């Protein structure tokens, strides 16, 4: 895999802007080589006139949709935001509601699968928030509480019984005893 390919993959999967030094650490390359590869990649995307662009703000880079496609993208996002939740999304949302704030690793341990796409979709829908911007800790949003027609998360059925601020590791050890 080439460095350009690695950077392209990182920019594609990232849900936020990436700095050169972060990409350099992830790709095990120097910041200078990352800069050269980024320049080449940006030129490639700009010259082909496709639906994806790479934008730069100071030392941060992000892959975005082309401005001329904003109407179609907006329509799609509107259906994504207002569309029904999948069973996996409902399960994830329930876990966050009863165990939140919850670290992504703990959530994935409970569900037994990677939850990154589901978390992204729940964030887009505004049903969850990142409780800590630097860490992957999630909690339900005020919109979630409002949409349920309650004024406090504690109004959820069996909340006191299911909330239990007990670390997952101790619950697992209880089950093994």
Contacts for 48-57: CB closer than 8 Å, 24+ residues apart: 54/11, 57/17
Supply the mean pLDDT for the chain.
85
The CATH number of the structural domain formed by 3-69 is 1.10.10.10
- Mean pLDDT along residues 10-17: 87
Beta strands 52-57; 60-65: pairing state: antiparallel
Under DSSP, the state recorded for 155 is: G
Q: What is the pTM of this model?
A: 0.53
Coil, strand or helix at 126 = coil
Q: What fold characterizes domain 84-165?
A: Arc Repressor Mutant, subunit A (1.10.10)
Token couple for 43 = 């030129």
Position 172 scores a pLDDT of 55
Position 177 scores a pLDDT of 52
Q: Provide Rg for the chain, Cα atoms.
A: 20
Position 70 scores a pLDDT of 84
Q: What is the C-alpha separation between 63 and 65, in angstroms, rounded?
A: 7
CATH 1.10.10.10 residue ranges in the chain?
Answer: 3-69, 84-165
**pLDDT tens-place string over residues 59-115:** 899 998 888 888 888 887 777 666 778 899 999 999 999 888 899 999 999 999 998
């Amino acid at each position: 895999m080439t460095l350009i390919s690695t950077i392209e993959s990182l920019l594609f999967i990232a849900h936020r802007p990436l700095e050169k030094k972060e990409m350099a650490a992830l790709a095990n390359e120097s910041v200078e080589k990352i800069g050269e590869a980024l320049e080449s990649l940006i030129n490639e995307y700009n010259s082909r006139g496709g639906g994806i662009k790479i934008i730069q703000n100071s030392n941060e880079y992000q892959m975005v949709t082309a401005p001329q496609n904003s109407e179609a993208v907006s329509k799609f996002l509107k259906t994504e935001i207002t569309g029904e939740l999948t069973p996996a999304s409902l399960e994830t949302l329930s876990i966050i509601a009863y165990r939140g704030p919850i670290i992504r690793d703990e959530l994935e341990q409970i569900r037994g699968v990677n939850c990154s796409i589901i978390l992204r979709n729940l964030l887009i829908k505004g049903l969850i928030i990142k409780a800590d911007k630097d860490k992957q800790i999630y909690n339900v949003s005020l919109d979630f509480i409002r949409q349920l027609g309650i004024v406090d998360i504690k109004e959820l059925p069996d909340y006191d019984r299911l909330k239990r601020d007990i670390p997952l590791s101790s619950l697992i050890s209880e089950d093994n005893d």
